Amino acid sequence: MTRFDQAALDMLRIIVSVLAPRFAVTSWTGERIGPPDGPALHIASPDAVRRMALRPRMDTVVDLWAEGAVDVEGGTLFDIVDLKPEGRFKERLRALPKARLLALIPALLGGGSKRQTSELAGKDPFVSGSDKAAITHHYDVSNAFYRLFLDERMVYTCAYFKDFSNTIDEAQRDKLDHICRKLRLKPGDRLLDIGCGWGALLIHAAKHYGAIGTGVSLSEAQSELARERIRAEGLEGKITIEIKSYTEIEGTFDKIASIGMFEAVGIANYDTYFTTVHRLLAPEGIYLHHAITRRQKRSRRRFRKKSAEHLALVKYIFPGGELDHLGMTIENLEGHGFEVHDVENLREHYGRTCRLWAERLHARFADAVAEAGQPRARLWLLYLTGCALAFERGTVQINQTVATRRQRGPSGLPPTRDDLYRASEAR
């Protein structure tokens, strides 16, 4: 064994012994450190240890995972997280013997590769994610890839679980209906879906509520399949799909839905976004704003500080993505001439959705690799798992906010929310 290999193995042993995870760690030599049974985190080469020691950052971890230099044996990422060290992880990190670890660094400097960043990393994380290049990076992986883990309608947003034991197909159907009910859709309503994806909401609204739909998207791959699905349903005369920015939309609409696209707008563009939606919404129309949010901090400065996890997300998966907080959403709606009527937190629903997506992708991982390549497939598995954990733990939220154009007198909405939750007809 070379000096480099021995130093890397010694460093790995020290770190595992101090952090004491409840899962095992296996090395490139075949050595198993930790419990003899159960899942294990596999470190495939001494170079992985070197890179993590010299650049202990989140994007290093993501790169190593994408390359397969770090992997899970005998389980899933969820299993590894469930068996994390007991107690506060930061306290265990502080307990690491820094002098012993630093003494191993010189031997690590002379070996390993110089590669540091995955070729799958996206563009500058502070560029707006609503431009075409950013949308293409995220959504145009391939329609076949998304089919591997989405529901039968291909809805790539938070599902709505009337019962958390429901299937993803049931929950996404119920989500589409929940949205239509909140919009109080009726026959002949002109519905605009901003960021319409594969057209599931528009198809549901046209088939079951008689709406006349317009969808806009910047993804050519999604729009092409959406049009195919619309033709298959015989709805060409009721639904139009256009590839354009929300800023280019013309006309007036009775109902507007923005489901899971607002995260790509960028905080710098919020004024343009809300001004545009207000311009497009007819008097007495209804707007449904469905978006992921972060928790507000004590100051705006602290809120604007990006976490390591967020920076990794926008670098590898969703270039330009930014999240506001619920207060900012309401502030912008009211400041741009809307009246807010209802806010519903669906955090646990999205946690369940992402967990099901991750499990489905894991079950068809060989197909995912064949379709998108191993690095991208591994990144998406990591991404969906991380999202599930973030929503389950409450690190991020998702809210549906219902608003109308502000006006004097009655809003025209029912006096209670009872109609939203009455047993609906089978649809």
The per-residue pLDDT for 177 is: 97
Query: How would DSSP label each residue in 378-390?
Result: HHHHHHHHHHHHH
Query: How would DSSP label each residue in 153-182?
Result: T---S----SSTTS-HHHHHHHHHHHHHHH
The per-residue pLDDT for 114 is: 54
The segments of the chain whose pLDDT lies below 50 read 116-117, 123-129, 132, 134-139, 425-427
Residues taking part in catalysis: 387
Parallel, antiparallel, or unpaired for β 253-259 and 190-194? parallel
Long-range contacts, stretch 86-93, CB < 8 angstroms, 24+ apart: 86/20, 86/22, 89/19, 92/18, 92/19, 92/20, 93/19
Q: Which fold has domain 132-421?
A: Rossmann fold (3.40.50)
The per-residue pLDDT for 206 is: 98
Packing angle of the helix pair 347-363, 365-372 (nearest 10 deg): 80
Map out the domains of the chain as residue ranges. 3-109, 132-421
Parallel, antiparallel, or unpaired for β 239-243 and 32-33? unpaired
**What pTM did the predictor assign?**
0.89
The per-residue pLDDT for 320 is: 65
Q: Which of helix, strand or coil describes residue 249?
A: coil
Q: Which of helix, strand or coil describes residue 335?
A: helix
The per-residue pLDDT for 125 is: 41
What's the rounded Cα separation, in Å, for the pair 200 and 350?
A: 18
Task: Report the CATH architecture of 3-109.
Answer: 2-Layer Sandwich (3.30)
Digit-coded pLDDT (tens) for 184-234: 999 999 999 999 999 999 999 999 999 999 999 999 999 999 999 999 999
Beta bridge partners of 33: 25
The per-residue pLDDT for 135 is: 42
By the 10 Å C-beta count (0-12 exposed, 13-18 middle, 19+ buried), 235 is classed as middle
| Tokens encoding 319 | 């270039």
CA angle, residues 270, 274, 279, in degrees to nearest 5: 145
The per-residue pLDDT for 295 is: 87
Digit-coded pLDDT (tens) for 339-377: 999 999 999 999 999 999 999 999 999 999 999 999 999
